[in-house]
């Protein structure tokens, strides 16, 4: 490497600047999206976010907020780390005022957050305090055009029920229901379960829905039954329901995880359960539907209700639709999920004469810069102390 500290201002001014890889104009941001999650209870929430970030990268999604109702010391920090890791530290992280605790499984967010990997940074936007979710929903929805926002629900109904009950505030003169009716395009929700006794019409044909032997009171419903009852009974717009049985048809494979190196999503996967294991892609499918609705079958309009024990019931006609899958569609979705969630970073094209590259390098303590000037001169600035006792410095830069 040829290193020089001599740089003329003219060389900088004459240097051609490369176009940015990411599209930034508002009209190229894609579908406005808010994700509601119980991050930390099951690993599919993390994979669902991994899929959503690829949608953001492709300009298909504008992920405005991830709202978290998991009661955990680390799950909101984990979301903030993921936003930052994927290059979107500006995505809002909000927290439910009454988060719900469920300790059934290991909270995989803790080992990732506590690992304190210098490459897995926080955004720095929150001093341990995240904004309250309902107020943030109201603020963000109020600022958007009518019928423009899709909400994806990957957990319990807790926050969304509070949003429906919310009253006019400084952000909007509408009640929560009025605001949702005006601003939200539809709710894509992972919740509920159906058995062989349930049928729904698809294209006017009465169709047995699922290859399922047992209808269950599904996890996202039973952890807050009154909230989910309210969401299905009072949501003033279309709901697209992705029931339990679909995720079981699309098993996210361990073979995709084991090839991955250090990565906050896949380290979380490895921390969640004893490897090797495949896991149903329940929550991933509700994000996949927003990006690629053509990969699913969807029922004719129905009405879904939730009883006091947490079981779903369905009657024809209404404002809800239920997703179904054939075996072939499930296999196609599995291939799609794996390809998207394991997509690597997109590298800059190789330097060419006349171009100037400016690379900012995270060293764990401050940033170093590496420049390739238009004439090929390379220059590294502020790379720290190379002595072994320091964590930062050349040793880390070369890693
Ligand atoms: Ca979830």
Residues 221 and 326 in one domain: yes
Chosen domain end from 295, 312, 341: 341
Ligand 1 centroid to Cα of residue 220, in Å, is 7
Q: Is residue 176 included in any domain, yes or no?
A: yes
Report pLDDT digits (tens) over 154-203. 999 999 999 999 999 999 999 999 999 999 999 999 999 998 888 888 77
> Quick one: tokens of 104?
């059934």
> Quick one: tokens of 356?
């100037």
φ and ψ at residue 96, rounded to 5 degrees: -65, 140
What total of structural domains would you count in the chain?
A: 2
Q: Can you give the residue range of the structural domain that contains 390?
A: 9-18+354-397
Ligand 1 centroid to Cα of residue 40, in Å, is 8
> Quick one: tokens of 266?
């896949």
Report pLDDT digits (tens) over 284-306. 999 999 999 999 999 999 999 99
Sign of CA dihedral 308, 180, 32, 131: negative
Helix, strand, coil shares of the chain, percent, nearest 5, are 35, 25, 45
Work out the average pLDDT over 219-241: 98
Residues 298 and 156 in one domain: yes
Residues 219 and 81 in one domain: yes
Task: Give residue 389's pLDDT.
Answer: 55
For residue 63, what is the domain's CATH number? 3.90.245.10
Ligand 1 centroid to Cα of residue 35, in Å, is 11
Residues 281 and 369 in one domain: no
Q: Is residue 1 included in any domain, yes or no?
A: no
Q: Is residue 347 included in any domain, yes or no?
A: no
Ligand 1 centroid to Cα of residue 232, in Å, is 18
Question: What is the C-alpha to C-alpha distance for residues 334 and 330, in angstroms, rounded to an integer?
Answer: 6
Report pLDDT digits (tens) over 43-53. 999 999 999 99
Q: Is residue 161 included in any domain, yes or no?
A: yes
Ligand 1 centroid to Cα of residue 45, in Å, is 5
Ligand 1 centroid to Cα of residue 39, in Å, is 6
Ligand 1 centroid to Cα of residue 67, in Å, is 12
Q: Are 296 and 382 spatial neighbours (Cβ–Cβ below 8 Å)?
A: no
Alpha helices (H) in the chain, listed in sequence order: 9-14, 44-57, 75-85, 109-115, 133-142, 158-165, 176-183, 219-222, 225-234, 244-249, 254-257, 264-272, 282-291, 327-341, 394-397
Ligand 1 centroid to Cα of residue 37, in Å, is 6
Partnered with residue 35 across adjacent β-strands are: 66, 152
Q: At what angle do helices 158-165 and 176-183 cross, to 10 degrees?
A: 100
Residues 373 and 235 in one domain: no
Residues 280 and 392 in one domain: no
Ligand 1 centroid to Cα of residue 10, in Å, is 54
State whether residue 136 is helix, strand or coil. Answer: helix
Q: Is residue 179 included in any domain, yes or no?
A: yes
Residues 256 and 386 in one domain: no
Residues 262 and 166 in one domain: yes
Q: Is residue 181 included in any domain, yes or no?
A: yes
Residues 377 and 331 in one domain: no
Ligand 1 centroid to Cα of residue 91, in Å, is 19
Residues 268 and 380 in one domain: no
Residues 122 and 170 in one domain: yes
Report pLDDT digits (tens) over 305-357. 999 999 999 998 999 999 999 999 999 999 999 999 999 766 566 778 888 88
Q: Is residue 100 included in any domain, yes or no?
A: yes
Residue count (the chain)? 399
Q: Within 13 Å of residue 301, how many CA atoms lie on the same side as its CB?
A: 5
> Quick one: tokens of 202?
């698809």
Pick from 57, 66, 49, 50: which is nearest to 30 by CA?
Answer: 57
Ligand 1 centroid to Cα of residue 8, in Å, is 54
Chosen domain end from 316, 341, 366: 341
- DSSP β-ladder status, 239-242 and 320-324: parallel
């Amino acid at each position: 490497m040829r290193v020089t500290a001599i740089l003329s201002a003219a060389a900088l001014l004459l240097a051609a600047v490369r176009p940015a890889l990411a599209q930034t104009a508002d009209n190229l941001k894609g579908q406005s999206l808010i994700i509601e999650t119980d991050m930390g209870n099951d690993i599919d929430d993390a994979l669902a976010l991994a899929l959503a970030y690829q949608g953001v990268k492709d300009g298909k999604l504008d992920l405005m907020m991830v709202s978290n109702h998991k009661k955990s010391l680390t799950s909101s920090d984990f979301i903030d780390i993921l936003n930052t890791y994927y290059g979107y530290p500006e995505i809002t992280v909000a927290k439910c005022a009454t988060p719900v605790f469920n300790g059934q499984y290991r909270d995989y967010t803790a080992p990732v957050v506590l690992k304190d990997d210098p490459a897995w940074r926080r955004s720095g936007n929150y001093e341990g305090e995240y904004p309250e979710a309902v107020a943030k929903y109201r603020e963000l929805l109020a600022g958007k055009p009518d019928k423009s926002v899709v909400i994806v629900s990957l957990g319990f109904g807790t926050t969304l029920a509070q949003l429906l009950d919310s009253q006019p505030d400084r952000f909007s003169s509408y009640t929560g229901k009025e605001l949702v009716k005006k601003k939200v395009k539809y709710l894509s929700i992972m919740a509920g379960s159906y058995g062989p006794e349930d049928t729904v019409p698809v294209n006017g044909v009465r169709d047995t829905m699922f290859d399922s032997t047992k209808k269950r009171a599904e996890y996202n419903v039973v952890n807050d039954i009154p909230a989910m009852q309210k969401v299905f009974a009072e949501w003033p717009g279309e709901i697209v329901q992705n029931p339990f049985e679909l995720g079981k048809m699309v098993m996210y494979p361990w073979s995709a995880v084991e090839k991955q190196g250090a990565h906050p999503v896949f380290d979380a996967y490895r921390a969640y359960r004893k490897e090797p294991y495949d896991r149903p892609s329940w929550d991933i499918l509700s994000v996949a539907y927003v990006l690629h609705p053509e990969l699913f079958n969807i029922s004719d309009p129905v009405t879904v209700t939730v009883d006091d024990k947490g079981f779903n019931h369905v009657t024809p006609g209404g404002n809800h639709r239920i997703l179904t899958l054939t075996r072939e569609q499930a296999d196609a979705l599995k291939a799609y999920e794996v390809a998207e969630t394991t997509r690597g970073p997109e590298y800059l094209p190789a330097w060419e004469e006349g171009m100037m590259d400016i690379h900012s390098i995270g060293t764990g303590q401050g940033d170093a810069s590496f420049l390739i000037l238009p004439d090929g001169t390379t220059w590294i600035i502020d790379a720290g102390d190379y002595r072994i006792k320091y964590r930062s410095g050349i040793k880390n830069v070369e890693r």
